Amino acid sequence: MTAATRRALFVALLVVVSACNYRTPPTGPTTVTTTVTTTVDNHSNPTPTPTPTPSPGGGGTGGGGTGLGNRVPDPPAGSALPLPAYAQTELFAYAATQAGAAALVTVCPGTATSWAFMDGLIDRLRAKDTRWGYYCRRGNCADPSNDVIAYHATAGPDVSGAAGTIGVDVIGDLCGTNTPQWVPYAFDSTALWTTRGRF
């Protein structure tokens, strides 16, 4: 084979190769698209039920089951709480109301309305602090005072017979003029407190 023939064959081969359409794989980054299907099951995760607001409890440490939920915390063992500053104002405010004034003029032991004023005043005070109650006259809780209220000033539950009380005489000239007054007694660790069976 002559050199001229070899050259002709080489040129022909180049023509054939260049005529072929070879595809080269793409180079560089490749983007892949994937479709994701999510199924939501509304029954497996129900909407949470709102937590109800708790109702007030029964007066802290032995509030007597009043349901009021207001009670000054117990003082340290061996000590006593002072009389609350608001109490005197509450007495005179209640005595000035129509119901309080009407009840005050009828206060006298043994009458059908003898407890109306004391009950109304103590209920009003207990709305602020369930330590308020009735004063056991001469330590006898079966004979509560008709004109002295009691503040249980020591630690422990507010139950009939609880000791550690401050008494306040709230009616002057009982069975006479029945005048509202504020005359606190000194704290007495032996003075007793009672519910008079009301709370």
Q: Is residue 17 part of a domain?
A: no
pTM, two decimals, is 0.67
Structure-token pair, residue 154? 């020591």
Predicted confidence at residue 69, as pLDDT, reads 72
Q: Is residue 28 part of a domain?
A: no
Neighbour tally for 133: CB within 10 Å: 27
Q: Which domain holds residue 160?
A: 87-194
Q: Is residue 99 part of a domain?
A: yes
**Pairing verdict, β 179-184 and 132-136:** unpaired
- Residue in 177, 174, 194 with CA at minimum distance from that of residue 111: 174
Q: Is residue 187 part of a domain?
A: yes
Dump pLDDT digits (tens) for 98-136.
Answer: 999 999 999 999 988 899 999 999 999 999 999 999 999
**Pairing verdict, β 179-184 and 162-172:** antiparallel
- Residue in 132, 7, 120, 147 with CA at minimum distance from that of residue 70: 132
**Pairing verdict, β 162-172 and 132-136:** unpaired
Predicted confidence at residue 191, as pLDDT, reads 98
Q: Is residue 161 part of a domain?
A: yes
Q: Is residue 10 part of a domain?
A: no
Predicted confidence at residue 78, as pLDDT, reads 94
Report how far apart the first and last C-alpha atoms of the chain are (Å, whole number). Answer: 131
Q: Please give the tally of structural domains in the chain.
A: 1
- Residue in 143, 141, 187 with CA at minimum distance from that of residue 161: 141
Residues (pLDDT < 50) of the chain are 16-17, 22, 24-26, 30-67
Give one word for 156, left, alpha or beta, with left for phi > 0 and alpha for psi -120 to 50: left
